[in-house]
Amino acid sequence: MKTTIHQLSAFAGQEVTLSGWVYHSRHSGKVAFIVLRDGTGLCQCVIEKGKIQDDLFDQLVRLGQESSLSLSGIVRVEPRSPGGHELAVTAASIVCPTQDYPITPKEHGVEFLMKNRHLHLRSQRPWCIGRIRHTVIDAIRRFFNDNGFTLVDTPIFTAAAGEGEQTLFSVDYFGKPMFLSQTGQLYLECAAMSFGKVYCFGPTFRAEKSKTRRHLTEFWMVEPEVAYIDLPGLLELAENFVSSVVKRVLKDNRPELETLGADIAMLEKIEPPFHRLTYTDAADILTSSRTVQFMAEQLEQFKSQKAALEKQLADIETADKAGGLKQWQKDKNARLQIELRAELDELNIKIENNPKHAQLASEFKWGKDLGGSDETIISLMHDKPVFVTHYPREAKAFYMKTDRDNPKVVQNFDLLASQGFGEIIGGSVREDDLQYLLKRIEEEGYNPQSYEWYLDLRKHGSVPHGGFGLGVERTVAWITNERHIRQCIAFPRMMDNVCI
């Protein structure tokens, strides 16, 4: 009976065949353990000498990591196996033996793993993240489809910029310059006037020269756009949406979250309402003594962690020098030292960045856009996601609706994910008044003729409307507690590094 590891619990006591790849293997004389990976999970398979032919046993024992094979045997409950069941092997057929698989069950550097991304995808971490990404995307579609939204696929080739002077990738379109889309928003606004509630979902492209853990040049974004909605309505939509996505992941991918070491307690707190701050509130917080103290406390915490690590390292060294250690103790210490040094490196980066970020915050002036470090500070101070609303008009795109009560600000919002992750959503109410919009286009120095069709929307039955964009990789990184979003897409495109 052919089955998959995921369904093994239904076959306890029965004979089944699993097909997959060797994830780990170890053997001790007459018994061998192959941890088999089949794309649905991991299962320990036990091969006892005498239960199968001797030459087959020898071949199985010699199989390298990631060799492909099928194993048949009796399923039995075994808590020591990764999935809770193991296979007592009675027959095996080797499909393709492997030698010198480059990714060993040890730590590897970023560069090495990226160059081996085609193989690295098979490892546990990328696999868990990939599964969660799948759930996130399914939950996104589910949420909008279940809430009366119509999917509209907006074009990827676009003639004009969506927002301001952002850098776009240009392509040669039969001799004419065209650009890769960085948002479907302007098109969505048209569609919202037809369907009422719409969304688009696809890859988006930014030629920003950003080399940080939060940036890719190609990433996936979902953008809802709704007719007859105001800012409070948008915030409510966004918090319900994000909460439903997190809930789905908690429901469908708990084992993956556990394997990844995600902060499940934090995720369980994600439900409406989220915190709401205005930009002015945020600016006040950043320049307050509270932030000075917060940053100082954080620095102290980092420093004491660093001191503890250094002491641990020094202790190991003195123990080594003192001699008299057994070989296995020395080996263990060597391993520990490497781990501790890596932790120390991370801490040193944090210690180096902290004063810079504290200074940026203290020098914050009303009118500037919130920087990445500013967002980090605000979100670190909250255990739930935070909406920041009403940014200065000058710092934002022309299409955002000027607040009629305070024309210095626009009716927009960013959603900062909790625990220092930073922005995952940016959105706004759109300017629906033709005169206001024309004025903004003029202020930005754009040519109104390029926006003729967009302006038409304000002439023919204009209504209050708005929407937002959510970055899929950033959301996945936040949920999975993965520090870099390049791990949250199968084949990442980064500013100056496209490996595969």
Q: Show contacts with RNA in window 217-236 (CB under 7 A).
A: 217, 219, 221
List, as one string, the DSSP characters of 376-413: HHHHHT-SS-EEEE--BGGGS-TTBPBPSS-TTBBSEE
Residue 425 CB, shortest distance to RNA, in Å, is 5
- Contact (Cβ atoms closer than 8 angstroms) between residue 119 and residue 102: yes
133, 473, 479, 482: residue in contact with RNA (rule CB under 7 A) = 473
Residue 33 CB contacts under 8 Å (≥ 6 apart), including other chains: 24, 25, 26, 27, 44, 45, 46, 47
Contacting RNA within 241-280 (CB under 7 A): none
The stretch among 14-22, 119-127, 253-261, 339-347 that binds RNA (CB under 7 A) is 339-347
| Distance of alpha carbon 168 from alpha carbon 157, whole angstroms | 11
Q: Are strands 42-48 and 85-96 parallel, antiparallel or unpaired?
A: parallel
84, 108, 236, 312: residue in contact with RNA (rule CB under 7 A) = 108
81 makes contact with RNA (CB under 7 A): yes
48 makes contact with RNA (CB under 7 A): yes
85, 120, 357, 465: residue in contact with RNA (rule CB under 7 A) = 357
Tokens of 67: 């060799």
The stretch among 4-12, 111-119, 227-235, 256-264 that binds RNA (CB under 7 A) is 111-119
371 makes contact with RNA (CB under 7 A): yes
131, 214, 401, 430: residue in contact with RNA (rule CB under 7 A) = 214
194, 341, 453, 500: residue in contact with RNA (rule CB under 7 A) = 341
| Distance of alpha carbon 103 from alpha carbon 101, whole angstroms | 6
470 makes contact with RNA (CB under 7 A): yes
Contacting RNA within 317-336 (CB under 7 A): 327-328, 330-331, 334-335
Sole residue written with tokens 């392509």: 171
SS3 325: coil
The length of the chain in residues reads 500
Residue 188 CB, shortest distance to RNA, in Å, is 13
Contacting RNA within 426-455 (CB under 7 A): 426
Residue 352 CB, shortest distance to RNA, in Å, is 6
Contacting RNA within 156-175 (CB under 7 A): 163-164, 166
Of the two residues 145 and 212, which places its CB atom closer to RNA in the complex? 212
| Distance of alpha carbon 99 from alpha carbon 189, whole angstroms | 55
CA dihedral of residues 51, 56, 58, 61 (deg, nearest 10)? -80
337 makes contact with RNA (CB under 7 A): yes
The CA–CA distances, whole Å, from 203 to 79, 154, 184, 399 equal 42, 11, 10, 22
Of the two residues 47 and 178, which places its CB atom closer to RNA in the complex? 47
193 makes contact with RNA (CB under 7 A): no
211 makes contact with RNA (CB under 7 A): yes
Sole residue written with tokens 């994000």: 242
| Distance of alpha carbon 136 from alpha carbon 408, whole angstroms | 37
Residue 410 CB, shortest distance to RNA, in Å, is 12
Kindly determine how many residues on this chain lie close enough to bind RNA according to the rule CB under 7 A. 94
24 makes contact with RNA (CB under 7 A): yes
37, 85, 197, 206: residue in contact with RNA (rule CB under 7 A) = 206
Of the two residues 163 and 236, which places its CB atom closer to RNA in the complex? 163
List, as one string, the DSSP characters of 467-487: EEEEEHHHHHHHHHT-S-GGG
End-to-end CA distance of the chain: 38
